[in-house]
Amino acid sequence: MQTMVDVGTDTLWAEDSRGDGPVLVLVHEHVADSRMWDPIWSQLCDIYRVIRYDARGFGRSPAATREYSQLLDLIAVLDHFGVEQAYFAGCSGGGTTVINLALAEPARVRGAVLLAPGITGYPFPAEPELDAEFDALVAAGDEDGIVDLTIRIWGASGPDPFVSDLARSAARALSSATLQRPDPPVFERLAEIGAPSVIMVGTADRPDLIKANEQAAERIPGCTLVLMPGVDHYPTVRAPDLVLDTIRDHCSPER
């Protein structure tokens, strides 16, 4: 079932597979939209009641018209579907949102699979030249250039038409990103997470992100770290079977 979820004056596109299985909520990365889950969607629906949505401006969700919070949008989606507790899989910025939920409303998170999550508050080194290149492309309205840069940064595993299409969706969401409230820093609070957690990160992802994920896995109590050989920042496209197996193994009531 596909629907639109009200989030204040804006709306989010969302999909609910329905069914009687345990609830699994998928939160996409911010260099893609919710189609990043397509390679494993049908297999997950055989086991779970699966819910996914497009963040504001991504995919099938309209652009944001006023300031918003990714965390509050996720909570609105959960409330819309009457979900009090669920398993979560979140990638990159979506992983950040899941971490924020686990800290803000821990009772709602039964378990989390975090794919190359963004770790706010981690001391990432500054990259002024890369930032300047990106800002120039945005100022010029060069969508093709933004897509090419996105793939150069995040798509090290090689060219793929689907990855390019996902990156283009992200480029079109940039106007909404300017209205997003900054995520709070979580690096120093990771030890507070009580939900069983797995962090997955590809060896072809950005080196500083890999380091951040490794340190995050050490700080989250009982967290399992899974390294994905040769995988970049698009894990469900590059290694769908590994991601699927990890979600099935970790997000199980029998654990």
Asked, for residue 255, whether it belongs to a domain, the answer is: no
The tally of domains found in the chain comes to 1
Name the nearest CA neighbour of 109 among 129, 135, 83, 130: 83
What pLDDT is attached to residue 255?
62
**Which residues does the chain have with pLDDT short of 70?**
255
Asked, for residue 63, whether it belongs to a domain, the answer is: yes
Asked, for residue 140, whether it belongs to a domain, the answer is: yes
Residues 6+ apart with CB under 8 A from 221: 191, 193, 194
What's the pTM?
0.97
Asked, for residue 174, whether it belongs to a domain, the answer is: yes
**Which residue range is the domain that position 90 belongs to?**
2-250
Give one DSSP letter per residue of 122-190, joined into a string. S-PPP-HHHHHHHHHHHHHT-HHHHHHHHHHHH-TT---HHHHHHHHHHHHTHHHHTTBPPPPP-GGGG
CATH label of the domain that carries residue 68: 3.40.50.1820
What pLDDT is attached to residue 253?
78
149-169 CB burial, b ≥16 within 10 A, e <16: bbbebbbbbeebeebeebbbb
Asked, for residue 48, whether it belongs to a domain, the answer is: yes
What pLDDT is attached to residue 19?
87
Asked, for residue 21, whether it belongs to a domain, the answer is: yes
